[in-house]
Structure formats: C-alpha cells, structure tokens
Amino acid sequence: MLQRISRLGMILLVIFLSSVFLPKIYWLIFGTRIIPSRVYYSPVTNDFMIGKMGNKKFYWEDQYGKRYTRQEGDSLLPLQNYRVLAAKGKLPDSLRGIKLDIEEIRRNNINLRVKPYYLDSPSIPLYPLFESKPPRFKLEIPEYYFRIKEGIEFISATTNQVNDSLSAIYNMALKEAGFRFPARKVFGNPTTRKPFDEGYFIIDNANQIFHLKRIHDRPFCANLHLPASVIPEWIIVKEMSLKEFYGLLITRDNRLYFILYDHYKLQPLPVPNFDPLNDVLEFNGNLFFRTFNVISGTENHSFVTNRAYALIDTLRISWTGQADTPAGKAAAYIFPFSLRFADSSSMYMDFYFTEYNVKSLIACLFFFILTLTMMRRKFNRVKPISVLALVFGMYGFIALTMFNLGQDE
C-alpha cells in the first residue's frame, strides 16, 4: 500500500514538473516576441501617434492608419524627441505659440508608471527618513530608520537600538496632526537618486493620509483631510522637478487621483476601469498635454488631457498576442494548462496556474486512448490510474510511461 502511494506521488510530481518545463521549452523554440504598440499625442497634428514594429523596423502610424518613418515621427513628437532634434539642428524655435527652451522641455517632460508587481512586492518595514533640506543640497542615507504600527520608532542602523527621544518627538507630531494608530500602510521613494525628498505618505487607521518628512532635523506632518468617499489603497510617490504633484493615489474602488502640491488637493483623473492588480498604467506629460495609457493584456486604452486634466481625446488599440499566433493556437490544443513560479503581476514566488484549456481535450482523449491501448497490451486490463492521461493529457501520459504505466506487479 505504501509503495502504491509513493508511486502515485512520484507520478503526480512528474505531471507537476511537466506542466512547468514542457510549455517553457515549447515557447523557447516556437515563441515569437510580441512588442506592444506605444501611444503618444502629437502637439503638431493634434492626433495620436502609434509606434509599431514591422519587418524588424520601427515606424509611426497615426490613428487613421497613415504611416510615418521614425525620422518623420521625431518631428511630429518634438517634445519626446527634443534631444535628437536639437542634435540635428531641427528642433523648432516655437510650438503652439510657445518659445521652446530645452531646459523647460526637460523640466516639463514628466512620467510615471504603475505595474501590478509594484503593488505586490515584498518589503522590509524599515524606512529611511531623509533630511529634506540638507545643508549641502545632497541627499544622504540617515543613521536612523523608522518603523510604524502602534507607534513610530526610530532605530539606529549602526547599533540597532531604538532612539526613544526621537521616537517620542515624531509620535507627538503625528498625534498633534490627528494621526490614529495603528498605521495601515507607508508609501515613499526611499532612494537618494532623486532631485529632492518629499518623505512619506502614511495611511492611518481611519483611512486618512498624513505627509511625514524631516526638515532641519524636525518633524513635518500634514493631514490631507480626505473626504469620506475617498478610501486610499496605494500611493506611488515620485519627486519631480516640475513639482506639480507628489504622486498618484489609487483608491479602494480603483479611482485615480494626483496629490497636488497646491495644498494637497486631489486631482481626479479621467481614467475609468483601471485594475491596478492586472493593468499597467503609463503617464506622460509635456508642455501642453497629459497622456494616460492603460495597458491590459493586448489592449491599450489611451486618454489625453490638457494640463488642467480636462479630457481631450481617447483611443483604444489592440495587437496580436502570443495566444493568437500560430504557436499560441497550437499550444491551446497541446497543453491542458501550464504552471509558473513567477508572474509579471507579483514579485512573490507562488504557483501560478493558467486556466484549464478546453481545446486540449482532443489531445487528452488521444493520450487517454493511447494509454488504454498500452495498458491492455501490457497487463490485459485497464487500470483506474489511466484517468490521469484523460485529465492531464500529455503530462499524464509521460508520467505513466515513465513509471511503466503505473505498474504494481
């Protein structure tokens, strides 16, 4: 009995491993690289420009299907390609009645990207609180890191000891601002590779957001006073020289806001149906427009606004995905499912199964009949374990064959 259980376990293990490596080898041999289209908005033509790859060459296409070379696209998107145009002496002196200055173009070219794995990544709940106004204008890693839950504690990175006096000062600042412990989440940009520091945005137990930073070795704490209808879930903080907004706020019901420098006002963004755990959001801004691209699978839904975030135009495009290629269509009939230990939506290792593919039942039936035939020839009977070939198709057949069709005798 123990031997049968052990053999069954080994057969299931082979099925498990086959679902990992066979699809991976298949795609390594037959897969083709899919390059998603890039979408921008031209301040020259007032139309969307779509960057595509064809015959191993990059080209641009407008929303009506007119094609442009890469060099022509540079001139239609001068704010994105200002360095190339300036180097060639082709950067226009003015655009839309505004005199163009390279430094102003650079400062106004802002971007922000949100990928699902940003929101599902392991993190160590120790945060460096930089001096936001350093005397020599250079951000440096501080000696003390803080953690916050039932209270805020500052810990020395050198001695690993809690600094009680520093902790008390910041606890008092938070409480005076109306912070209600325990803290739910902490968001910041803990790196010195940024033009300046804006500290952290912390969500308290009452779903209010507090801005905490260190200025001249003293705490600065501000309550954003969110309305009851806004329940924060994630905040993407990014310091940019333009100082238009602190970062992006994603609410529990997936509404999007920018937290503005103007007294922490929330600027609602006209981007509906965004799923942060599955979609990619790409934001690009320039002297004239703000463009939001929501990439979901093989679709890109673009929204363009003016600088006041009033919607101007939208565009939805799609492209051929792996599943629609000849190799993808064949894989649907070959593999009942596949398993990965990593996924683009998360930084955690886990078991990521694809949905069971009904189209593979034809192949499963073939391997089931083949298994029954081999069992009758070998044992003059059919064994119940043959059902593994019907359910798992190729995976089950390989596993049963490796273990002599589950032989007991």
The confidence band for 404, taking pLDDT boundaries of 50, 70 and 90, is confident
pLDDT tens, 269-319?
A: 999 999 999 999 999 999 999 999 999 999 999 999 999 999 999 999 999
Question: Do residues 103 and 169 share a domain?
Answer: no
Q: Is 152 in the same domain as 202? A: yes
- pLDDT tens per residue, range 120-156: 999 899 999 999 999 888 999 999 999 999 999 999 9
Q: Residue 378 — pLDDT band, cuts 50, 70, 90?
A: confident
| Best CA proximity match to 27, nearest among 271, 239, 340 | 340
Residues 130 and 189 in one domain: yes
| pLDDT value of residue 284 | 97
Asked if omega into 182 is within 30° of 0 (cis), the reply is: yes
- Domains contained in the chain, number: 3
Question: In the listed set 108, 134, 154, which residue is the last one of a domain according to the structure?
Answer: 108
For residues 103 and 151, membership in a common domain is answered with no
Same domain, yes or no: 215 and 154: yes
Residues 158 and 185 in one domain: yes
Residue ending a domain, choose from 225, 258, 276? 225
Does residue 128 come out as left (phi exceeding 0), alpha (psi in the -120 to 50 range) or beta?
beta
Which domain, by its residues, includes 100?
A: 42-108
Contact present, 163 and 156 (Cβ < 8 Å): yes
- Domain final position from 225, 247, 278: 225
**199 located within any domain:** yes
For residues 84 and 133, membership in a common domain is answered with no
For residue 179, being part of any structural domain is answered with: yes
Residues 62, 139, single domain; the answer is: no
Position 2 confidence tier, pLDDT thresholds 50, 70, 90 = confident
**Are 154 and 217 within one domain?**
yes
Residue 62: partners with Cβ closer than 8 Å, 6 or more residues away:
42, 45, 47, 48, 49, 50, 68
Residues contacting residue 68 through CB under 8 Å, at least 6 positions apart: 49, 59, 60, 61, 62, 76
Asked, for residue 260, whether it belongs to a domain, the answer is no
User: Does 140 lie in the same domain as 74?
Assistant: no
**Main-chain phi, psi angles of 323, to 5 degrees:** -65, -20
Residue 256 lies in a domain: no
Q: Specify the pLDDT at position 405.
A: 66
Together in a domain, 345 and 377:
yes
In a domain, 379, yes or no: yes
The reply to whether 407 falls in a domain is no
Question: What average pLDDT does the segment 105-113 reach?
Answer: 97
Whether residues 28 and 48 fall in one domain? no
DSSP string for residues in 96-154: TTEE--HHHHHHH-EEEEE-GGGGS----S-EE--BSS-TTS-----SEEEEESSSEEE
